[in-house]
Amino acid sequence: MEYLLLASLQGFFFVCFILAFVVFKSWKIATSSSGEIKKSFRPAGISAKIESLVAVLRFFVSGPSIILDGYANGKNAPYVVQTQGKDLVIVSSDNHIKELLEAPETQLSLHAVAKDLFKPKYTMYEFDVHDEMAANGSMHFRVLRTLLTANLPRMLPELQNMMQREFAKETLQGYTKTDEWSRIPTFDVAKRLVARINSYLFVGKDLTENPEYLEAALAYPQEVFVTGEVLQLTPEFLAPVVTSIATKQGKALKTMLRYLFPIVEERLRQREKGILPSERPLDCLQWIIDSSPTKEKWDAKKVVQETLALWFGSVHQLSMAFVYALYDLVDNPSYITLLREELASAPDGWLSSLNDLPLLDSFLKESTRLSPSDSISLRRKALKTFIFSDGTVVPKGSWVCVPQRAIQRDAAYYENPERFDGHRFIKQGSALTDLDARFPFWGLGKRACPGRFYAVGILKMMVASVIEQYDIDIDQATNPEDRMFWWRSAIIPKSTIELRVHERQKTRA
């Protein structure tokens, strides 16, 4: 986002306008006097309104702390966190979560949240996201939950080779003769690795080996995130101008479109010719085409839009989970030896036994328990005022959420919750992909993440590849909390933190 800031006098005034608009909008939220807001625990009085304004602005950089404090102050009781643009009504009791999941999408909508966050009309090639799931179809569930999961085992050997090859290149670039260790920017490397692996699965080998396309594919999710954030802070009439500035005139998107459209058009022609399933490419792009409606056939633009939407959600979450797992290995080095022993003991090689590595699964689940990439989950936007059975009100336009980070650190559910215990979930008999109200990392119910089986498989492969082939450490004796920063409710690794890497004796899975 730094290219937006003070790049010119025009840019300076643009940033000043955005900041002024944020303060103005925050004050309007803080001084709202609607009856619905009052029922949602909003304080009254001028001093309280000033406090509300401060709270709205503070959430930008202290959201996880605010959410955690609210949970600790009234465990399982609903509470409201004021943010720019909307209130977050936070619920955590079993009854509230059950009612949230059972609420019709005409009242509480997951897709409306996505529209608020990422503004797909402007960031995803005019992608039209409907508030109700039925209107959006079930294509992505079939592609991610069924086809990708089923085909992943046969693709893992090539993906592992790619992971090992690219990680070796990264370590070579960071190599120093002083101590024979390499130093790599952990988060940046993680994003590059995940982008390459995902690109292979999404669009195949040819585009993945195209540097221009891969660079654009890596930049695009970041541009969507930054642009979505900026658009939340600006009036609607400025959206086209802001989008153009924030995306450098849509450079990454235009590059992706230039390469994707000819491929999609050719595959649609092949479909019309009746190409046999055995002759079709094995990638998500083809599965999107194969899973599209048969009555109202999608054109190339629609296929590309769906591909962009799935691609956006595929890179950063997995990258962050990988980074936090590496940090937890460094902070708990005894597990490296134990995990290497587990990998070495797999009778047919660990790559074909990813579902039979209980310590690796438990370790990674403990890592995501303590270091989720967001403080909240199960986001839903109220399309109309929603009232829980206990009288808790979610005003129209507000969000209702579950405080996943707080729940996952609750001593009522986890013994010694602040202590890292890599064996915790072996003892509990719980797998990383399991859905659980005490571990709402993947969401819950019918809207739970359909790509979690793929994500866990890739995460295990990446972590196992590193610990089998490398010793790792961190230069700075940093507190784990200092390796990340907060933005709204998100918890994001800092790009400045470097991992020290030293190659071990060559081994293979």
The region of weakest confidence among 1-5, 202-206, 444-448 is 1-5
Q: How confident is residue 124, by pLDDT bands cut at 50, 70 and 90? A: confident
Q: How far is CA 478 from CA 303, 492, 495, 499, in A?
A: 45, 16, 14, 12
Can you tell me which residue has the tokens 């799935």? 310
On the question of pLDDT at 136 being above 80, the answer is no
Residue 483's nearest CA partner among 499, 469, 507 is 499
Q: Which residues, listed in sequence order, are joined to residue 82 by a DSSP beta bridge?
A: 87
Residues 304-345: tens digit of each pLDDT: 998 998 898 888 899 999 999 999 999 999 999 999 999 999
More confident residue, 250 or 328: 328
In sequence order, the 6+-apart residues with CB closer than 8 A to the CB of 497 are: 185, 186, 187, 474, 476, 478, 483
**pLDDT, position 53:** 75
User: Cα dihedral sign for 207, 212, 218, 220?
Assistant: negative
80-102 pLDDT tens trace: 998 887 899 999 999 999 999 99
DSSP alpha helices (H): ranges in 433-480?
452-469
pLDDT-derived band of residue 49, with 50, 70 and 90 as boundaries? low
Q: pLDDT, tens digit, for every residue of 147-194?
A: 999 999 999 999 999 999 999 999 988 777 667 889 999 999 999 999
Residue 413 has pLDDT above 80, yes or no: yes
Distance of alpha carbon 277 from the chain centroid: 32
| The predicted structure's pLDDT at residue 140 | 76
Given a cut of 50, is residue 31 above it in pLDDT?
Answer: no
Tracing tokens 């961190």 back to the chain, one arrives at 474
**How confident is the model at residue 145, as a pLDDT?**
86
Close Cβ partners of 411 (under 8 Å, ≥ 6 residues apart): 417
User: Band of the pLDDT at 1, cuts 50, 70, 90?
Assistant: very low
Retrieve residue 496's tokens: 């400045």
Please state, in angstroms and rounded to a whole number, the distance separating the CA atoms of residues 309 and 73.
Answer: 38
- Report d(CA 329, CA 339) in Å as an integer: 10
Cα angle value 500/501/502 (rounded, 5°): 130
pLDDT band (50, 70, 90) for residue 349:
very high
Tokens of 376: 């909240």
- Token pair for 297: 């056939």
Partners of 474 in beta bridges: 499
Q: Tell me, what's the pLDDT at 137?
A: 60
Residue 369 burial (CB count, 10 A): 24
Q: For residue 84, give the H/E element and its range.
A: none
For residue 20, pLDDT beyond 90: no
Starting from the edge strand earliest in sequence, which strands make up the sheet with 182-185, in order? 182-185, 498-503, 470-474
pLDDT at 55: 77
What are the structural domains of the chain? 2-503 (1.10.630.10)
Regarding predicted confidence, which is higher, 308 or 8?
308
The answer to whether 59 touches 66, Cβ cutoff 8 Å, is: yes
Using 50, 70 and 90 to split pLDDT, how confident is the model at 35? very low
Sign of torsion, CA 40 43 49 55? Answer: negative
Section 371-378 average pLDDT: 96
Q: Is 16 annotated as a binding residue?
A: no
Q: Residue 177 has what pLDDT?
A: 60
Residue 10 has pLDDT above 50, yes or no: no
Average the pLDDT over 220-238 and give the result. Answer: 85
